């Protein structure tokens, strides 16, 4: 990786974070009512003027707007994201706690979906036009078209309600109050959310991998390999697969944003106590400090995915150094 | 081949939905907001899909909900495609500093997760359905710019463009008369795919309980049904129809989008070596 590229990436990341923060700052000022009306929803009307003044002073609302903005931006970088209105604890604390639970379902779902999507997509693209390929393609398009919330609801109804194979929601049984959290119990609760997120994600990876494989399969070096008399499996493994996988790495970013969206619906439906359900709860009670924290964390997740893609790229393709334009 | 049948079926479904949306007042037996009898009725000849907890006729609400779905999808897609095409053409045609600035801006914008941002904006400004659709279109337009721009990059140096320039044609004329017609098929595909995407997102907003409460939309119907125990009580006629309705139109648009993409990108077309 060369210096210019790193600087570019760093600049984009910091700029994205700053824009997220700035949007929230502007939103806070555009909102109907003052900060205090939001904080003391029902009783602010009765607050004496000197209390209001003291409140504004504590939150720096009596300073010039530019100074407020700079302070706001600095605090965002320092990790001082304010207090959640419902939980009454620092936003970052709430989010940190929930983020772990989101990762418990997000990481396995993404890993499985990436592996399966690449595998099935490569096979489908390699055998293009065959009955298997058409069937797989149609099946994937079908699953992709189902809204994630509807898919989650149907999976819940079928597997948890009618077949009674898995719990209806939550992350542990009530027995955990006595016995403590049992990892097996958590895993049992996590199966359906992971399955839904997996289905949601695998179709995208599959579709991309298949397209990429279609392009690769038409390349001259594949024809050459075949002319050399190599068997199909060797060509697929040693020549086609590696090259077809390259465009996949850059897709990680888009996939990450999609998974954040998916997890909001999936966690809400399965009552999984992660960032997604936190978003839903914060929306319901209009907890703006918490919502802005969630937006910032989501931005950071996408940035992290970007950087991960940059780091993975040279591993998949040793020829090119990322961003090395000559 | 079967592909033609599927394509015809998709177009048929989309047209049928449009017809239902336009004719909603004629088809729907009741006003979607009116109290029409006892609450939580099972389906019967009076109420084809029963009634909800507020005694509103579910079938009528389903019919009226078509309007919200199509509005969200088509308005959002129109905004996205117009912005994506306009900015993409200008950026790709002029190149240089303009292109660099637009591309860096999009790099930054694409790092911000659109859906959570949309959630926050809709929660706090409670926009109506039209503003929501435009907002979705705006926030979703970045990727479209990229797709159109990369197409324009190669068009801008094509011989026919150079030739037209040599004849003394202005930039505006070239972009409107020569570049635009060439990216229209791509913009068309983008429109279909975006429409599907925005319908799902728009209904998702309703599902999360932050839709426009003055309109009937399927997301809010699903939300209301699942929040009020339709699943546990086994009231399938309350929970299932709106979800099936979204899934069907989504499938039709996905098929149409896929078929169009296949058509304009010959490398993806199925061929045997």
Q: How many CB atoms lie within 10 A of CB B151?
A: 19
Write out chain A residues lying below 8 Å of B100, CB-based: none
In this prediction, residue A33 carries a pLDDT of 64
Q: Tell me, what CATH number does A209's domain have? A: 1.10.3720.10
CA distance B165 to chain A (A): 31
**Contacts of residue B32, Cβ cutoff 8 Å, sequence gap at least 6:** B56, B57, B60, B61, B63, B64, B65, B216
Residue whose tokens read 């003044």: A53
pLDDT tens profile B229-245: 777 777 888 888 999 99
In this prediction, residue B268 carries a pLDDT of 52
Q: Which residue has the higher pLDDT, B80 or A15?
A: B80
As a whole number, mean pLDDT of residues B101-107 equals 89
CA distances A70 to A64, A80, A288, B105, Å, are 10, 13, 19, 22
Q: Structural domain tally of chain A? A: 1
Write out chain A residues lying below 8 Å of B247, CB-based: 145-147, 150
Closest by alpha carbon to A141, among A235, A91, A207? A207
Cβ pair A31:B123 closer than 8 A: no
Which chain B residue's Cα is nearest to A33? B124
In this prediction, residue B203 carries a pLDDT of 92
CA distance B25 to chain A (A): 27
Does residue B114 belong to the interface with chain A, where contact is any CB pair within 8 Å? Answer: yes
In this prediction, residue A99 carries a pLDDT of 92
**Contacts of residue A108, Cβ cutoff 8 Å, sequence gap at least 6:** A190, A194
pLDDT tens profile B40-71: 778 888 888 888 888 788 899 999 999 999 99
Q: How many CB atoms lie within 10 A of CB B227?
A: 10
pLDDT tens profile B150-178: 889 888 888 888 899 899 888 999 999 88
Does a structural domain hold residue A97?
no
Q: Please, are residues A200 and A262 in contact by the beta-carbon 8 Å criterion? A: yes
CA distance A137 to chain B (A): 11
Name residue B57's beta-bridge partners. B51
Write out chain A residues lying below 8 Å of B209, CB-based: 283-284
Write out chain B residues lying below 8 Å of A303, CB-based: 111
3-state secondary structure at position A102: helix
- Interface list for B 214-253 with A (CB within 8 A): 222, 226, 231-232, 239, 243, 246-247, 250-251, 253
**Contacts of residue B133, Cβ cutoff 8 Å, sequence gap at least 6:** B71, B72, B75, B76, B79, B198, B202
- What is the mean pLDDT of each successive set of 10 residues along chain A, which is 326 residues long? 74 86 83 68 74 80 84 86 85 92 91 91 88 90 89 89 81 73 81 93 90 85 86 83 80 79 91 91 85 90 84 72 47
Q: Is the dihedral of CA B213, B237, B32, B192 positive or negative?
A: positive
pLDDT reading at B210 higher than 90 = no
CA distances B48 to B56, B58, B81, B232, Å, are 12, 8, 39, 21
Domain residues of chain B, as ranges?
A: 2-31+55-272
Give me the residue from A20, A265, A292 closest to B112, CB to CB: A20
In this prediction, residue A183 carries a pLDDT of 80
Alpha helix ranges (H) inside A43-90: 49-58, 65-78
pLDDT reading at B266 higher than 60 = no
Give me the residue from B123, B226, B231 closest to A283, CB to CB: B123
Mutating which of B3, B72, B116 best tests the A interface, going by the most A Cβ atoms within 10 A?
A: B116
In this prediction, residue B271 carries a pLDDT of 40
Domain boundaries, position A279? 104-284
User: Both tokens of residue B66?
Assistant: 């078509």
| DSSP per-residue string spanning B170-209 | -HHHHIIIIIHHHHHHHHHHHHHHHHHHHHHHHHHHHHTT
Torsion of CA B220, B225, B231, B234, to 10 degrees: -140
Does a structural domain hold residue A196?
yes
Cβ pair B243:A286 closer than 8 A: no
Closest by alpha carbon to B175, among B85, B99, B89, B100? B89
Cβ pair A149:B207 closer than 8 A: yes
Give me the residue from B112, B209, B271 closest to A129, CB to CB: B271
In this prediction, residue A325 carries a pLDDT of 44
Write out chain A residues lying below 8 Å of B256, CB-based: none
Does a structural domain hold residue A144?
yes
Mutating which of A8, A38, A149 best tests the B interface, going by the most B Cβ atoms within 10 A?
A: A149
Does a structural domain hold residue A307?
no
Distance CA B188, CA B209 (A): 32
Cβ pair B113:A260 closer than 8 A: yes
**Contacts of residue A268, Cβ cutoff 8 Å, sequence gap at least 6:** A149, A276, A277, A280, B208
Write out chain B residues lying below 8 Å of A142, CB-based: 251
Does a structural domain hold residue A207?
yes
Distance CA B138, CA B128 (A): 15
At A249, which helix (H) or strand (E)? Answer: helix A241-250
pLDDT reading at B270 higher than 60 = no
Which of the four pLDDT bands, split at 50, 70 and 90, describes residue B134?
A: very high
CA distances B245 to A74, B17, B62, Å, are 48, 9, 8
Does a structural domain hold residue A219?
yes
Residue whose tokens read 């600049």: A11
pLDDT tens profile B171-188: 999 999 889 998 998 899
User: Both tokens of residue B69?
Assistant: 């779905």
Write out chain B residues lying below 8 Å of A10, CB-based: none
CA distance B76 to chain A (A): 17
Cβ pair A280:B208 closer than 8 A: yes
Write out chain B residues lying below 8 Å of A145, CB-based: 196, 247, 250-251, 253-255
Which chain B residue's Cα is nearest to A10? B108
Does residue B267 belong to the interface with chain A, where contact is any CB pair within 8 Å? Answer: yes
| ipTM of the complex as predicted | 0.84
Which chain B residue's Cα is nearest to A214? B268
Mutating which of A10, A129, A147, A259 best tests the B interface, going by the most B Cβ atoms within 10 A?
A: A147
Cβ pair A145:B196 closer than 8 A: yes
- CATH class of the structural domain B2-31+55-272: mainly alpha
Does residue B182 belong to the interface with chain A, where contact is any CB pair within 8 Å? Answer: no
Give me the residue from A12, A142, A269 closest to B107, CB to CB: A12
């Amino acid at each position: 990786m060369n210096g210019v590229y790193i600087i570019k990436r760093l600049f984009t990341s910091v700029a994205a974070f700053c824009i997220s923060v700035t949007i929230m700052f502007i939103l806070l000022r555009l909102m109907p009512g003052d900060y205090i009306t939001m904080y003391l929803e029902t009783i602010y009307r009765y607050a004496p003027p000197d209390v209001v003044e003291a409140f504004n002073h504590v939150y720096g609302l009596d300073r010039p707007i530019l100074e407020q903005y700079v302070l706001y931006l600095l605090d965002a970088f320092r990790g001082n994201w304010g207090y959640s209105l419902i939980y009454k604890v620092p936003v970052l604390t709430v989010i940190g706690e929930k983020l772990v639970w989101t990762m418990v379902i997000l990481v396995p779902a993404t890993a499985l979906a990436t592996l399966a999507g690449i595998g099935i997509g490569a096979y489908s693209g390699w055998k293009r036009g065959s009955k298997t390929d058409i069937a797989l393609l149609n099946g994937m398009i079908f699953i992709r078209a189902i809204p994630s919330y509807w898919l989650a609801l149907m999976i819940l109804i079928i597997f948890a309600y009618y077949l009674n194979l898995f719990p209806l929601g939550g992350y542990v049984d009530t027995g955990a109050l006595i016995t403590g959290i049992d990892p097996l119990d958590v895993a049992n609760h996590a199966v359906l959310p992971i399955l839904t997120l997996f289905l949601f994600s695998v179709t995208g990876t599959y579709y991309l991998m298949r397209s990429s494989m279609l392009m690769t399969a038409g390349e001259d070096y594949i024809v050459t390999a075949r002319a050399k008399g190599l068997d199909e499996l060797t060509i697929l493994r040693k020549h086609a697969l590696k090259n077809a996988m390259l465009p996949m790495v850059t897709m990680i970013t888009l996939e990450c944003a999609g998974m954040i969206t998916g997890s909001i619906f999936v966690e809400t439906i399965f009552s999984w106590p992660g960032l997604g359900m936190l978003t839903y709860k914060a929306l319901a009670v209009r907890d703006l400090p918490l919502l802005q924290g969630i937006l910032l964390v989501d931005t950071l997740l996408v940035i992290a995915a970007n950087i991960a893609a940059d780091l993975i790229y040279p591993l998949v393709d040793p020829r090119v150094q990322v961003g090395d334009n000559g | 081949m079967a592909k033609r049948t599927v394509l015809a079926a998709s177009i048929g479904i989309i047209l049928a939905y449009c017809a239902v949306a336009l004719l909603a007042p004629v088809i729907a037996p009741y006003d979607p907001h009116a109290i029409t009898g006892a609450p939580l009725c099972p389906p019967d000849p009076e109420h084809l899909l029963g009634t909800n907890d507020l005694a509103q006729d579910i079938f009528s609400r389903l019919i009226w909900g078509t309007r919200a779905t199509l509005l969200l999808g088509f308005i959002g897609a129109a905004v996205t495609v117009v912005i994506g095409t306009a900015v993409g053409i200008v950026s790709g045609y002029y190149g240089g500093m303009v292109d660099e600035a637009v591309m860096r801006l999009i790099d930054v914008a694409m790092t911000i997760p659109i859906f959570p941002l949309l959630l926050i904006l809709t929660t706090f400004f409670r926009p109506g359905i039209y503003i929501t659709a435009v907002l979705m279109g705006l926030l979703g337009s970045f990727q479209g710019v990229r797709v159109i721009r990369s197409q324009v990059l190669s068009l801008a140096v094509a011989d026919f463009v150079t030739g037209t320039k040599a004849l003394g044609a202005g930039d505006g004329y070239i972009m409107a008369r020569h570049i635009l017609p060439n990216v229209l098929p791509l913009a068309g595909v983008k429109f279909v795919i975006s429409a599907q995407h925005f319908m799902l997102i728009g209904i998702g907003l309703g599902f999360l309980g932050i839709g426009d409460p003055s309109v009937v939309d399927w997301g809010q119907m699903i939300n209301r049904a699942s929040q009020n125990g339709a699943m546990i009580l086994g009231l399938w006629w309350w929970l299932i129809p709106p979800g099936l309705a979204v899934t069907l139109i989504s499938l039709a648009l996905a098929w149409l989008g896929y078929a169009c993409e296949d058509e304009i990108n010959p490398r993806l077309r199925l061929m045997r070596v």
